[in-house]
Amino acid sequence: GGITMSLTPKQVYEAIAASPYGGEQTNQTWSDVDPSLPDQPILVYGPPSTSGTRDALKELVLEVGCDTNPEMEALKETDKDRHAQLCTEVRSDGAYVDQGEQDNLIVQKIEGNPNAVGVFGYSYLEENADKVQGLEMNGVAPTYENIASFAYPGARPLYVYAKKAHLDAIPGLREYLLQWTKMWDKDGELAKIGLVASPADVMAANLKAATEYTTLDGAQLK
């Protein structure tokens, strides 16, 4: 069983923001957010403010949902701090529960309460597929392929940058970069700690960058 719904960043934002679009947070159930969603209390177990997963939740989901509102998007230009506060601060009335850095605890909480929603790394979903189910976002399921291709809105890449001037100045840097290329396969060391491997074409381009030291011109960073 458990709660099933396909969410959008906008709905997630309206459900767990402390002050949606600068107004009062009055949503108690998912159906308060959107009548098409289940009439179940909003209860989201997620990462604390110190966590990288929380940063991903803020940037990829909450801000995206918040900026569907033209006033909020305009606020980004005029008052960055206020925009960040209204768009990324989560409610503290018990509907969002900061579960510490332990993703396995979040899984246990959801197992104990089938109507709760959790925010955690993909590897925990994969390992506990018999206990928890992934929720679609924008109609896209959180599968390995959808995360690898960034079709799933909550997916983000891990970047490693090196300064060309440092390649010879810092002993071991070339070897360090080469080591990444040996660890990022689907069955590599990075996959073992929960990272999702890039598609083959992206991996080939990254291998070239890590071994031929191609220079970034800035366009790739936009």
Euclidean distance between the first and the last CA atom of the chain, given in angstroms as a whole number: 41
CATH number at residue 113: 3.40.190.10
Same domain, yes or no: 44 and 15? yes
Dihedral angle of Cα 119, 123, 128, 133, to the nearest 10 degrees: 50
Domain boundary among 148, 178, 195: 148
Q: Which amino acid, one-letter code, is at 178?
A: L
Phi/psi for 7 (5° steps) reads -105, 165
Are residue 144 and residue 170 in the same domain, yes or no? no
Q: Find the angle CA(193)-CA(155)-CA(96) to the nearest 5 degrees.
A: 90
Are residues 172 and 140 both part of a single domain? no
Both 140 and 191 in one domain: the answer is no
Q: Are residues 119 and 64 in the same domain?
A: yes
Tens digit of pLDDT at every position of the chain (222 positions): 677 899 999 999 999 999 999 999 999 999 999 999 999 999 999 999 998 889 999 999 999 999 999 999 999 999 999 999 999 999 999 999 998 778 888 889 998 998 999 999 888 898 898 999 999 999 999 999 999 999 999 998 888 999 999 999 999 999 999 999 999 998 899 988 888 999 999 999 999 999 999 888 777 666
Helices (H) and strands (E) in the chain, counts: 13, 3
Same domain? For 82 and 48 the reply is yes
Say if residue 93 is in the same domain as residue 133.
Answer: yes
Domain that includes residue 110, residue range: 9-148
Q: What is the tens place of the pLDDT at every residue in 147-201?
A: 999 999 999 888 899 999 999 999 999 999 999 999 999 889 998 888 899 999 9
Q: Do 123 and 23 share a structural domain?
A: yes
In order, the DSSP letters of 201-219 are: HHHHHHHHHHHH-PPP-SG
Look-up of token digits 């970034």? 216
51 plus 105 within the same structural domain: yes
Whether 3 is covered by a domain: the verdict is no
If asked whether residues 177 and 137 sit together in one domain, one would say no
The pTM of the full predicted model, rounded to 2 decimals, is: 0.86
